[in-house]
Amino acid sequence: MRWARFQVMRSIEETITRLSEEQGQARVVAGGTDLLIQLMEEGQEEALTLLDISQIDEIRGITESEGFLLIGASTTIAELSFSELIWKKARALSQGARSLGSPQIRNVATIGGNVVNAQPAADTSVPLIALGAEAKIVSSKGERWVLVEDLFQGVGISRVNPFREVLTHFKIKIYEPPRRASTMERLSKRKAFTLPTLSVALSVELDENLNYFSEVRIVVAPVAPIPWRARRAEEALKNTAIIRANLNNAATLAKEEVHPRESLRGGIEYRKDMVEVLTKRALLNVLSLINKEPHD
Amino acid sequence: MKKRGRGIASIYFGMGNTAKPNPSSAYVELLEDGSCVIRCGAADIGQGSDTALCQIAAEALGISPERVSIKSADTLITPEAGYSSASRQTYVSGNAVRLAAEQVRQLLLREGAEVLEACQEDLIIENDLVFVRGTPSRTIRVEDLCQRLRARGILTTGAGFFNPPTPEALDPETGAGIPYGAYSYATQMVEVEVDTETGEFEVLRVVAAHDVGKAINPMAVEAQIEGGVIMGIGYATMEEIIWDERGQLLTSNFRTYLIPTALDAPLVKPVIVEEPEPTGPFGAKGTGEPPACPTAAALINAIYDAVGVTISSLPVTAEKVYLALKKKRLEEKKENLC
Amino acid sequence: MTERAITFTLNGIKQTYRVPEDRLLLDLLREDLGLTGTKRGCGNGECGACTVIVDGNPIVSCIYPAVKIDGREVMTIEGLSKTSRDLHPLQTWFLKTGAVQCGFCTPGMLMSAKALLDRNINPTAEEVREAIVGNLCRCGAYQKIVEAVLAAAAELRGESFPERSEPAEKGAIGRRLPKFDGILKVTGAAQFAADLKRPDMLFGAMVCSPHPHAKILEINPEAAFSEEGVVAILTAKDIPGPNSYGVIVKDQPFLASEKVRYVGDPVAIVIGKNERIARIAARKVIVKYEVLPPVFDPREAMKPEAPKIHEQGNILIYRKIRKGNIDEGFKQAEVIVERDFTTQTVEHAYIEPEAALAFWEGDILVVQCCSQGPHYHRQEIARMLNLPISKVRVIQATTGGGFGGKIDLSLQHFVALGTYMTGKPVKMVWTREESFRTSTKRHAFYLRYRFGANKQGRLCAAYAEIIGNTGAYASFGPAVITRSATMALGPYDCPNVHVDAYGVYTNTQIAGAMRGFGAPQMSPCHEPIMDEIARRCGLSPLEIRRINMLRVGSSTVTQQVLTAGVGALETLEKVAAEIK
């Protein structure tokens, strides 16, 4: 058997109950487009019970309220990529979703599964972190909200334990002009359906007079075992004038603070240089979304 | 900054196994209703040899191709026809089928001459009818001829085999000799747009002109050209088998070994050139391999045209283009300082 | 294994079925319900050959648990048309435009296209490409596929679509006829080897070497036999005939006996009651190896001190061309361009993984398999089993692409041996990973070129050194190197040519025949040289080729004088016309 049982859950409550009952012999699965491949790799045999949460209505769908977007964890990547709401108010996430996999994969893969799979360059994780997103984790002990950024421990190692808890929702502050915007840049070896050589996602908030960045979040991956916040670059931009020299400087800082390893996806020199290029492009793009031209 | 460039590349390609005999054989059976069955060992692997052989038989017999069927690649039923490789099936098996069909044609002509009271040389077989040149009213249907022959105890079957003419073994010292019976020639042009900041490039379009002698089925020939170019693009830009230092494959699935998707395939304009091959069936030679041969070369030339760097290894990647441009900029800076 | 009853609508018909909870939808369709139109190309959701439509959405069924279709509507290729006569417009247009080549990607492709048109009846060409981006087509038929989908969309909207005009119907040559085997492919009815089955069929799985170079000390099948349902475990000692084969040089064992020479070299075959049992047991076969030092780079492998991969040494073949006098030629040259170039090893990557089925029919051993040449397979299998050739029958099943990779034996001999030893039908289907590891590849070339020309751009000297990595066994190595020597110069006329071409063994994947046989590797070396010569002579890329291209009367590198059928210049002029 690749797994022993595959049970479709109807509610989060049922899921939590089953997890407790199985005491570590059962784990949550959503779309399964990563997990099932891992379980089937060169024929492992697992006495595992999979609890399918992909069809639980209470954790599907995208709603907006009071300046926030609430996204159910079992919302499919396809639903995210088609959503007008996400395109307008959390653009970087829409861009990430549209780059993920193929149409067939997007119809099944979920945003929750993508985050819990904990790949550093996952196409929803990178923009979620750039958007400052929070995730709701539910277990038999109760519920908590955690920054998505804090869910990553290592490559494939999530701080969410799928044997005991369920990630149910994401909450994102709305990033929309005139003061806020987000964007994502991505390099890959093929036009589509390919893991990224490099991704940069960023979100910005400008002050009321649109003179400087009051808030910047820049995420770069894969350059480390977890998604990387380019904090030195962010610090250099915060509360400074929006002029090209500052943008270029920040891009250079982003490049200097990353230390990627050699990888099949690309050499170190190239990827570092591209961090600078993509960061610069992302900054210019996000400014054009706000209709703000950087001064020279 | 985006810069565009164009590059061309030419190749030639011998049809069939190099300097070795590689014969094909075929049986053709014309049935009493004027339809035809071919038996030939040539394996159709998607390139369309089954259909092309049917068209060749139909032409040789003068019947409509819709009446022709083929059984191929079953060793108990079909005679040998070599591998479906070396771009040889249209050329070699095509000739075998043509020769087998010619045998049947001879039977039809002899019988037709009697029935229509004409000389064999004056007979034409076309669209399932045999008629006398100049007097189209004197006709007889092919199936009627077959039935007449049967009534006399003659079955309309033919067998043929063909080996490319004079593939001689090459001289071991000089390599001199005639390695192939026929050659195909091709030139391709790639138009590319390079992003100088990232090294990424996009193949905008490819024009692929291929001399196939005679296109038995132009749609199938186009498909081979378009498909070969796309395989060439994959080879040129994204495919690579990679091992670790212990000889273990790191690329053993489609996530790590990338082949072109529908979005990676550029617009391809196939141009069929027909310079008749005297030894080929109705002038045809092969087209399976040549389309996959010049594309990478044309791309490298196009990138030079666009940004002035020549890449020295495959695959051509954004990284290689970027690093070559970076090196070039540094060298130019040094020169300017001197 | 727990089973569950699920109720679903499949191709319009509601049904209930009991499935094990670890069943994949693809296997429910293919194995349980006998709907073999949906294909397995990779098993990882990465190629799209297994695409079916669930509740209107295309999904990859090879990673989709069957229990998930409970309460849902599923469409497969078999549901696209009511009968094989009453085709859906997508199917008729796929046939009319030539979008069907090998047919293996076709069912999945049609499903993605159907789902697109159900959602958007007026897609742009770009939208069509995006919709099928998850369906890989190695035959590269994308352009014609897009044309077909746009045409079908137009027909479904009630509009007409411009069809290509055919010349007046005279004769059969030059006619754009849809492929005669096309209908089977667009309806999913074409039988590829993995679709075949026979009663009482067993399944074979390989045990392969994990080392690039090692001596085999012992093969211990005991633990594997403890797995219930294992029928036989076959090694080299079970082979009745000589344990060697090869298309040119018979240096490859049917099953490795003394040595393994690459990671993936097959060592044993486990025959079991079904695929799962055979594969589990195969992992339990214990093989003891003495690891030998490997060599991966052919330039290293050529050196006398390199580890010997084959007894006769690591240089499989050396082919030379000596035309004219190269030293004189370079003395005359006013422009000399040198270029070193390396190419990578690549894979055929046909979407159909290798598959074969063998069985006895009376006293004839029959093998149905993917193949580019069944007569060659027959010959080798007969040799292996000491049977007269007439007692072996090889039937090519519909084959999902070859590109040179399905000429050598891959698994035909394994199933034949299995049937020979057990008396029962034996089937084997490779996973994508097995196909990557064990099957042949295109030679990587290390090239050193030097061309000389006079100031008018006329070539007067050409030197080429070619070192090809032929991998662990010969396969088509000698032919690739020989052909490469004859094409090393490119399509040009040059009086003085010197080529040294080597095929060298290494402990990497076997390099054999792959579309182009040396030309794809060499043209990116010589074509930029021609452009550079052009630049130095103040000529354009077109002009330099006009001056040097082969024509009737030219002498090739093998000193053959061409007499007819030389369309080279015409191809150049056709391209030139496009540039204007």
Q: Alpha-carbon distance B156 to C517, whole Å?
A: 40
Q: CB-based contacts of A18: which residues, under 8 Å, 6+ apart?
A: A7, A9, A26, A49, A51
| CA distance, residue C72 to nearest chain B CA (Å) | 30
Can you tell me the mean pLDDT for B133-156? Answer: 93
> Between B258, B318, B322, which is nearest A194 by CB?
B258
A24–chain B Cβ distance below 8 A for any pair: no
The confidence score (pLDDT) of residue C164 equals 74
CA distance C46 to chain A (A): 8
* Average pLDDT score over residue span A57-66: 96
Q: Which of residues 75-104 of C touch B (CB under 8 A)?
A: 97-98, 101-103
Q: Which chains touch C (3 or more CB pairs under 8 A)?
A: A, B
With beta carbons less than 8 A apart as the criterion, state whether C319 and C371 touch: no
CB contact under 8 A, A102 and C1: no
The DSSP annotation for A71-129 comes to: EETT-BHHHHHH-HHHHHHSHHHHHHHHHSS-HHHHTT-BHHHHHHTT-TT-TTHHHHH
DSSP conformation letters of B270-315: EEEE----TTSGGG----SSGGGSSHHHHHHHHHHHHHS----BSS
Q: Which of A38-52, B2-16, C111-125 has the lowest mean pLDDT?
A: A38-52
DSSP B210-276: EE-SS-SSHHHHHHHHHHHHHHHHHHHHT----B-TTS-BS--STTTS----TTTPPEEEEEEE---
- Compute the nearest-CA separation of B36 from chain C (Å): 14
d(CA C34, CA B232): 37
* Cα B107 to Cα B210: distance, rounded to the nearest angstrom: 37
List, in order, residues 6 or more apart from C505 with CB less than 8 Å away.
C261, C298, C301, C309, C310, C314, C315, C316, C470, C471, C472, C473
Q: Which amino acid is at C239?
A: I
Q: Which residues of B touch A191 (CB under 8 A)?
A: 261, 263-264
Tell me whether A193 touches chain B (CB under 8 Å): yes
CA distance C565 to A213: 70
Residue % of chain A over a pLDDT of 70: 99
Residue C165 pLDDT? 67
Q: Which residues in C lie closer than 8 A to residue A102 (C-beta atoms)?
A: 48, 60, 133-134
SS3 state at A14: helix
Dihedral angle, C-alpha A23, A29, A32, A34, nearest 10 °: -60
Helix axes C541-548, C568-579, angle to 10 degrees: 170
**Interface test mutation site (partner C, options A104, A105, A108, A188, max chain C beta carbons within 10 A):** A104
For the cut 80, the answer to whether the pLDDT of residue B167 exceeds it is: no
d(CA C170, CA C156): 32
Which residue in the block uniquely carries the two structure tokens 């190419």? C343
Strands C459-471 and C497-505: parallel
Q: How far apart are CA B90 and CA B56, in angstroms?
A: 9
Q: What is the mean pLDDT of residues A262-290?
A: 95
Considering only CB atoms, B258 lies closest to which of A190, A269, A274, namely A190
What lies within 8 Å, CB to CB, of B230 at 6+ separation is B260, B264, B265, B268, C140, C142
> Quick one: average pLDDT of C330-348?
98
Q: What average pLDDT does this structure show over C76-103? A: 94
pLDDT digits (tens, 9 = 90+) for C459-491: 999 999 999 999 999 999 999 999 999 999 999
For residues B154 and C537, the answer to whether their CB atoms sit within 8 Å is: no
CA separation (Å) from A281 to A186, A196, B69, C315, C385?
A: 11, 16, 60, 52, 65
CB contact under 8 A, C22 and A7: no
H/E stretch holding C152: helix C142-156
Does A120 touch chain C if contact means CB atoms closer than 8 Å? no
B56 phi and psi angles, rounded to 5 deg:
-65, -45
Q: How would residue B338 be classed by pLDDT, with cut points 50, 70 and 90?
A: confident
pLDDT at A44 over 80: no
Return the axis-axis angle of helices B295-307 and C519-537, rounded to nearest 10°: 30
B14 vs C: CB within 8 A: yes
Q: Does position A43 have pLDDT exceeding 70, yes or no?
A: no
What dihedral angle (degrees, nearest 10) is formed by the CA atoms of C173, C174, C180, C181?
Answer: 120
CB distance B225 to B289 below 8 Å = no
Q: Which of residues 275-304 of B touch C (CB under 8 A)?
A: 275-280, 282, 284-285, 288-290, 292-294, 296-301, 304
- Does residue B170 sit at the C interface (CB-CB below 8 Å)? yes
**A202 and A218 in contact (C-beta within 8 Å)?**
yes
> Known catalytic residues of B?
289
Taking the CA atoms of residue C514, residue C518, residue C524 and residue C525 in that order, the dihedral angle to the nearest 10 degrees is: 160
Q: Is the peptide bond before A178 cis (omega within 30 degrees of 0)?
A: yes
From A281's Cα to the closest Cα of chain C, the distance in A is 25
What is the percentage of chain C residues whose pLDDT exceeds 70? 99
Are B214 and B286 in contact, with CB atoms under 8 Å apart? no
| Partners of C104 in the β-ladder | none
CA distance B186 to chain C (A): 6
| pLDDT tens profile C232-270 | 999 999 999 999 999 999 999 999 999 999 999 999 999
- Residues of C in Cβ contact (< 8 Å) with B290: 516, 519
Average pLDDT, chain C: 97
Q: DSSP secondary-structure letter at C25? A: H
Interface test with A, best of C68, C127, C434 (most A CBs within 10 A): C68
Q: What domains are there in chain C, each with its CATH number?
A: 3-79 (3.10.20.30), 89-164+178-190 (1.10.150.120), 202-291+350-437 (3.90.1170.50), 299-346+441-579 (3.30.365.10)
Cβ–Cβ pairs < 8 A, chains A and C: 77
Q: What is the DSSP letter of C228?
A: T
Q: Can you say whether residue C340 is alpha, beta or left, with left for phi > 0 and alpha for psi between -120 and 50 degrees?
A: beta
pLDDT, tens digit (0-9, with 9 covering 90-100), for B100-125: 999 999 999 999 999 999 999 999 99
C162 or C563, higher pLDDT = C563
Residues in Cβ contact with C264 at an 8 Å cutoff, skipping those fewer than 6 apart = B249, C208, C209, C434, C437, C438, C509
| pLDDT band, residue C83 (cuts 50/70/90) | confident
Asked if C370 and C400 count as a contact pair (C-beta separation under 8 A), the reply is yes
The interface residues of chain B toward chain C in range 227-246, judged by CB-CB distance below 8 A, are: 227-232, 234-236, 239-241, 243, 246
pLDDT 10s digits, A217-264: 999 999 999 999 999 999 999 999 999 999 999 999 999 999 999 888
- Residue-level pLDDT at A264: 84
Write down the mean pLDDT value for chain A: 96
Average per-residue pLDDT for chain B: 96
C577 within 8 A of B15, measured Cβ to Cβ: no
Please provide the DSSP assignment of C213-226 as one string.
Answer: SEEEEEEE-HHHHT
d(CA C50, CA A100): 19
Residues of A in contact with C279 (CB under 8 A): 43
A106-141 pLDDT, tens digit each: 999 999 999 999 999 999 999 999 999 999 999 999
Instruction: Please state the ipTM of this predicted complex.
Output: 0.97
Q: Which of C355, B169, C21 is nearest to A29 (CA)?
A: C21
In the sheet that holds C266-272, the strands lie side by side as C230-234, C266-272, C202-208, C426-429, C355-361, C364-369, C392-396
C-alpha distances out from residue C472 to B37, B245, C261, C365, C440, Å = 43, 16, 5, 30, 10
CB contact under 8 A, C515 and B252: no
Q: Which residues contact A164 (CB under 8 A, 6 or more apart)?
A: A19, A24, A139, A140
C-alpha distance from C177 to closest chain A C-alpha (Å): 33
Answer positive or negative: Cα dihedral of C54, C59, C62, C66. negative
Record: contact A189-B258, CB cut-off 8 A: yes
Tokens linked to C405: 């990779």
- Residue B156 pLDDT > 90: yes
Q: What is the DSSP letter of C65?
A: B
Q: In the numeric block, which tokens belong to residue A139?
A: 């277990």
Does the pLDDT of residue B81 top 90, yes or no?
A: yes
Of A191, A270, A274, the CB nearest to B261: A191
Q: What is the pLDDT of residue A42?
A: 60
Beta bridge pairs of residue C57: C54
% of chain C beyond a pLDDT of 90: 96
Q: Which residue of A has its CA nearest to B260?
A: A190
Cβ neighbours, 10 Å, residue A143: 13
User: Which residues in chain C are contacts of B269 at CB distance < 8 A?
Assistant: 578
pLDDT at B188: 98
Contact residues, chain A, for B323 at CB < 8 Å: 269-270
In this model, does residue B166 exceed pLDDT 80?
Answer: no
d(CA B123, CA B118): 7
Angle at A209 between CA A204 and CA A212, to 5 degrees: 45
For chain C, say whether A105 makes contact (Cβ under 8 Å).
Answer: yes
